[in-house]
Every structure is written in C-alpha cells, then in structure tokens.
Structure 1
Amino acid sequence: MKTSAKVALEKVARAVLQRHACPVPFHEVRTRFLGSIATPAMSVSPLPVIKGLWGGVLPSFESMDELNELLDVLVQGLWNDLTRHQKRSQPFRLTRLPPDATAANLGQFARVRREELDGFVEGIFNGQDAIDLPERAHEAVGHLGELRAMMAGISDLVARDPSAGDRNELEATFRHMRDLTRIMETEIHEAVLSCSRARRQMREARPITRPTIH
C-alpha cells in the first residue's frame, strides 16, 4: 500500500474507532491486530478480535450501514493491510511520535510503546495464558517483555516528576528510546515471521491414513 493510501486508511480507522468510543487506542489496535494475525493459533478470525476491543461485544449501531462501515474499515482495510508484514521485505513500524526532547513527550513516548507492546503480546496469546511458540518467536516475546518493563518504568518516572531531567539528559534518553524502538520493531518482525513459518508448516502437514496390514 502506498504511503498516502496508508495514511488515509489509518485516518479513517481512527475516526471510526473514536466514533464508537473504542477504549483501546489506535496504536494498540494496530499491534493487537498484528499479533492476532501472527499467532500460531489456527482458529483466529478478525471478528472476535474486533469484539475484544470493546470487551467482547460490538458497540451498538444505529444502522446496518454503520456496522458494515466498521467491519469494512477494520477488516478489509486495517487487518488486511497488516497481513503484508508477514513478509520479510515488509517490516512493521511502530507509531511515529513527536521528536522534541521534552519530559511530556518522553512520558508519551514510553506510554505509547508500552501499550503497543501490550497489544502485540495480547494478540499473540489470543486470550490464552500460555501458548506454544516457535523458538525465535518465544525469544522475541521474552525480549519484548523486558522492553515493556523498561517503558513502564520510564512512564512511571515521568509521572512522578514531570519536569525530571535537563535538556541534555532528555536528548540522550530520546536517542536511547529511538534505539529501543528499532529493537522493538526488529523483535516484533522476527516474531511475526517465525509464527508465520510455523503456521505454514502446520498447514502443509498432510494427514496420512494408516496402511492396512494384510
């Protein structure tokens, strides 16, 4: 999808989610969808995942047109667009955030990254407490858990002292955050690729009938 079309799709998706008071922020919706697309669980479909954004039930609609619009934007649009990240040549990118090195932006940066990682892991686990993952995906999810804890720590620090750090310290921290973002994107992409390979192998495994011995 071209950049202009992608921006337009995301703008429409944000508007639809906001119109129906979705409690999950858009940046987390993206990663939850991606995790749900990647999960080794073979029975995942978009509708239950979409219902999960509202706690398990769809919001109320004034007409069938509203329902169809929501499903068209979220399934035919956003979900289908995210499936392209199952290719090595199409790595996923996390939400771009304000680059200015301020304490407020640092707090937002850490919060958004934490929510994005929460969404991806939620999608991967598909509502289960435990799931069998391929080795590389298991490793990636472990790394993402460590990064998520770091983001939560930074977010809590800024919340306790919104003016913490001088300009030089903030700029250094922002450089580290950008480096960590690249690591997050790499680990998310490796998890998606690893799970996609595992699913393909499961689909390709053909059942065989036990031969009759005479």
Structure 2
Amino acid sequence: MYQTAVHSVSQSGESLAELAYRQIEEMIVTLKLEPGAIVNERALTDITGMGRTPVREAVQKLAWEGLMEIRPRSGIAIAALNPQDFTKVLDAREGVERVLARDAARYGAALHHKRLQEASEAMSFALASDDVSSFLVADKIFDTVLGQAAENPFAARVASPLQTHSRRFWFRLQRPGSLQQAAGAHRALIEAIVTRDPDRASSEAATLVDHLRTLAP
C-alpha cells in the first residue's frame, strides 16, 4: 500500500532499527502514512522489509518523539497534524537550534564540514530538479551532522524530534517558493558553520526558523 526507498545518500553503519526508523519517519514526514491513520506492526514490517524487532524499536522511538501513538489492542496511530501547532514546535526549536549552530561553528571538524557541504550540494540539486523528497533527505542528514558537529548530545537529543516535526509541517504547509527559500537558508547556515563564525551561525539558524514561521497559520 505504501512505498519507500532506501536512498544512496543515507549514512553508513546504520543498524536495522535505525534504517527502519529512517524509512518510517520519512513516510510520516511526507504524509505517505497519513495523519490519524491506524497501522499495525505487520504492515510496517511489510513496508520496510524489516523484521519485527527493528520495526518495534523504530516505533518505540517514533512514539517517544510524538509522531506515533501505540494503542494496545487497536494498533499504532500516526500523530495528527494540526497546523496551529507549528508555531509551538518552532518556539521550542529556535533556542536549541541556535546553540547547535553556534557550537557546530566552534567545534565542527573537517569531516563534518565535508558532510555539511555535501548536504548543501544535495539541497541545491533537489532545488534544481524541484524534488521535495530529496530535499527532505538532505535536510535530515544536515540536522544529524549539525548535532554531531556541535558536540552537545543533550541539545541534539532535544532538537531531533522538533526538527522532524518541523519537516512534517513544512511538507504540509509549503507553498510556491518555499523550497528555494529553505535551500537558501540552509546554505547560508552551512557557510557560517564551515567558515567557523559562531555568531553568524547562530543568527542564520534564527533566520531559518524565521522562514519556517512564515508558513505557520
């Protein structure tokens, strides 16, 4: 019923649970798993091609992040999507995003810079081909590398579910020009991090959140 793909730009060394999580998360973000829908574990194993154990671990993580609700004896509910909640997500996200951007500019290593630049290039390619799905994959990689480069696992753990909720709202609320604006905001933030400018990186993170606020009802 639902289809997804394992993208070549995925991170290496993923466990089966991480791979299942990434696939299911992507389907939730892109609304292939519709808000409010009820699914079961068997359906998710069929969709992902994974066994019960990695799927169960992925579902538990997604439930903790607020993207699913496990309902004993009735299935697994995909979280509702109320556009009015987008502002609440962004209010919670802005402060921690600025911390991550600032610290990534301070502490990021050459490997992080390389992966951030690859994410930037992937976003540019997605923009040129008007490929929203590919942009979201690159955005997920950017968020992951941002958390690693900042060397602050506490902030990264707080930010991760908020970033996923933001992608889901963005996908639902995007309008003409949104992809171009989002790609530009990410490129500016990546440049500030790579050039090791903490103050500018923090400011560009706020600019990115400001762009997302323009989509909120």
TM-score (normalised: structure 2): 0.40
Higher relative contact order (CA closer than 8 Å, sequence separation 6+): 1
Structure with a larger share of its residues in strand? 2
TM-score (normalised: structure 1): 0.40
Structure label with greater radius of gyration = 1
